[in-house]
Chain A
Amino acid sequence: MCGRRGPAAEKDAGLLRGWRLYDAPRMRVALFSTCLVDALFPDAGKATVQILERLGQPVEFPLEQTCCGQMHANSGYFEPKLVRRYVDVFANYDAVVVPSGSCAGAIRHQHAMVARAAGDEPLARRAEAIADKTYELSQFVIDVLNTDDVGAYFPHRVTYHPTCHSVRMLGVGDRPLRLLRNVRGIELVELPRQEECCGFGGTFSIKNPDVSAAMLADKMEAVIESGAEVLCAGDRSCLMHIGGGLSRIRAGVRTLHLAEILASTDEAAHR
């Protein structure tokens, strides 16, 4: 990818503690909010914008965007027109930032397949080109903006759930944790059996509700066992699932998107 690491970035990182990257490349960056964040979790979108702007990276939100089509594809309904829309809307940007490992993963690993299944090779090629410049939030901040300290302050006990698609399909590795470790005031606690799926799986949770609920029960048990006040992840979809369960059993643990923690600052905390 186009990670830009250099002596200048390393020198500045110490001086500026990652607050503002004056050497950040001048890029035209778009936010793909994802349909779920747009409709139900706007705070994760707002937080993403705040982080990028705080890091000196202007961001645009093309209003023609809708959905990556993952829910459709994973349910068996291939919608090349949603792939085409994504490709058309974001064709002219240098990078697209997505606050979701799952949607970014679908864009990188599914769009071309959906186009090819419809026999549209030119679309598949364009989809591959745009997939290459589509980044999940933590990838973009660390690999492109070259910082793992976004200057956040969040004085709470937090546990992090590495969502399946972010880790296994996209390979974000420990990037989200590197960002979280540099949040001031945060107390990070380990989530037991963290690599295990929460049981969401999109329409899996509705088509196979019994298995999904059994997986969710174990995930909730792990969250409670961790002793955290806040469960954090890079995907609002998985958080909607776990959070929906925690809310039902009145567990007293809230869920926050990674971006919401990274966006929070000292001032915000004292407001």
Chain B
Amino acid sequence: MSSGELIWSEEGWAGADFPQNAKQAVNDSQLRRNVRKATGTIRERRAGLVAETPDWRQLRRAGAAIKDDVLHHLDGYLEEFERNATARGAHVHWARDAQEAARTVTDLVRATGHTEVIKVKSMATQEIGLVKALEQAGIAAHETDLAEMILQLSNDRPSHIVVPALHRNRAEIRRIFLDGMDDAPKDLSDDPHALAEAARLHLRRLFLRTKVAVSGANFAIAETGGLLVAESEGNGRMCLTLPDTLISVVGIEKLLPTWRDLEVFLQLLPRSSTGERMNPYNSVWSGVTPGDGPQSVHIVLLDNGRTKALADNIGRQALRCIRCAACLNVCPVYERTGGHAYGATYPGPIGAILTPLLAGVEHAPQLPFASSLCGACYEVCPVEIDIPTVLVKLRHDAVKAERHRLQDATFAAAAQAMSGRRRWTLALKLAPLVRLVRQGAPPPLSGWTRTRDLPDPPPESFREWWTKHR
């Protein structure tokens, strides 16, 4: 299990068995309502902001081009980053996989002598299962992002990359606070302001007493050795400035060549992720500044399957991803299942390609099929990741990796029937048989006829008509 929590398994959810999980999720009407409402809101805000940005297409093109440059010259940029970060007083560590990264962070925290850390919301730390690893080492890691805190209090998992508790509504959150937060006011209402205030007071004590923080980073700048965290609540700013020690886990694809490249990404990211013109907080730090902020700064550069993904000439574009989750918010599949059905740290369309690319398609063979290939994800992606094409490519890898005798034989027979005029003409003679199963076909076609009729077969095929009339 060196890939950490890329794919998770939990009671009630069948790992990455998407069809099974989705069946359960689709029947949860509260979940569907919550997800639809939340994604719908962000989707509309994003659409409005993109429409008012006249050079959106050029920005997207630039974003994709900058990331492609990074991926093509990753070795060089990584070393440049390490050099510059080290020169400014940061300690750079390299982690091949989730286990190595979690161990590095654990050792660094242990070395401080503290048993408590505060955390900034970060996908990389989710991916490596850091909170659990720290817990096993006797270190309590407190999530300080409001949504992540809600999930931690309710022993739940994130279901969205940007809005992790999107599957919960405010009535549910009130309940979670009253049950899990020892200092929650007894008369707490489900008014968002009251909920935020309760969380604020609870978190403030943590910020003031904790000496070690763990974060991820949205961007790592090779030219300066700096890291950037974009956020909305200010909890990140607290974690990044108040403690003595700051440890950041950063995927190796997070690099940007220069400071100026932020011009593009700080326009793309907020519009795509939260539907804002800019993030309320952008915190940037480069190594250590004497007398200001953490005096011990560590950066753990994480591979965990990224170089493997880089070797896939169609799949590598997934490494351009800036984790904005715009693809989740427009995905008709995600809207109906929510994120947990994917059984993985990265849900939604990007997760359906990123998870198999990082963990190996043999470990998540269902995920590339968790899409109707409608292409809405590609349309909104701020770095032009052609998710449908990567999905199709990964489906090809999946059927090669794992044999399904009935399915393989069916497709082989169909291809055979389509490989010649005579065979095909003969096969068309079977079309009237559809009539027999129109409203109730045997499996696997029963998945269709449970809710839909099959078409009434025509008296003659098109080619029969053509041959007779021409």
A: residues with CB less than 8 A from B are 33, 35, 37-43, 45-46, 49, 61, 63-64, 66-67, 69, 71-79, 81-82, 85, 109-110, 113, 117, 164-165, 168-169, 195-197, 199-217, 240-241, 243-245, 247-248
Contact = CB atoms under 8 A, between A and B. Distances in A.
A65 to B, nearest CB: 8
Interface of B: 18-19, 22-23, 26-27, 32, 314, 332-333, 336-337, 368-376, 378-379, 388-389, 392-393, 395-400, 407-408, 411-412, 414-415, 417-421, 424, 428, 431, 434, 439, 444-445, 447-448, 450-455, 457-458, 460-467, 470
B358 to A, nearest CB: 19
Contact of B373 (A33, A49, A201): A201
Contacts, number: 194
A35 B369 CA distance: 23
Nearest to A46: B465
27 contacts: A38-B428, A42-B461, A42-B462, A45-B465, A61-B462, A66-B418, A66-B419, A74-B373, A75-B407, A75-B411, A76-B396, A76-B397, A82-B418, A109-B389, A164-B376, A169-B388, A197-B372, A200-B372, A201-B372, A201-B374, A204-B372, A207-B19, A207-B447, A213-B26, A215-B333, A215-B372, A241-B452
A66 B398 CA distance: 26
Contacts of B376: 164, 168, 195, 197
A139 B392 CA distance: 25
Nearest to B465: A42
A210 B373 contact: no
Nearest to A35: B418
| 8 nearest A-B pairs in the assembled complex, by CB-CB distance | A201-B372, A244-B452, A209-B447, A76-B395, A168-B375, A197-B374, A76-B399, A42-B462
A39 B373 contact: no
B279 to A, nearest CB: 28
B447 A63 contact: no
Contact of B19 (A73, A82, A195, A210): A210
Given A75-B411, A214-B336, A244 B372 contact: no
Contacts of A33: 462-463
Contacts of B378: 168
Given A37-B462, A40-B431, A42-B465, A240 B455 contact: yes
Contacts of A71: 414
A216 B337 CA distance: 14
Q: Is the interface of B mostly helix, strand, loop or mixed?
A: helix
Given A72-B414, A77-B399, A244-B448, A197 B332 contact: yes
Contacts of B396: 73, 76-78, 117
Given A40-B431, A63-B421, A206-B448, A164 B333 contact: no
A161 to B, nearest CB: 12
A229 to B, nearest CB: 19
In this complex, the member of B18, B400, B421 whose beta carbon has the largest number of chain A beta carbons within 10 angstroms is: B421
Contacts of A210: 19, 22-23, 26-27
B21 to A, nearest CB: 10
A248 B23 contact: no
Nearest to B378: A168
Contacts of A61: 462-463, 466, 470
A77 B434 CA distance: 24
A120 to B, nearest CB: 15
Contacts of A240: 455
A74 B451 contact: no
Contacts of A40: 431, 434, 455, 457-458
B16 to A, nearest CB: 13
Given A169-B388, A213-B452, 5 more contacts: A73-B396, A211-B26, A211-B370, A244-B448, A245-B452
Contact of B448 (A76, A85, A117, A209): A209
Contacts of B373: 74, 164-165, 201-202, 204
Given A42-B458, A46-B465, A75 B372 contact: no
B451 A41 contact: no
Nearest to A240: B455
Contacts of A110: 392
B460 A42 contact: yes
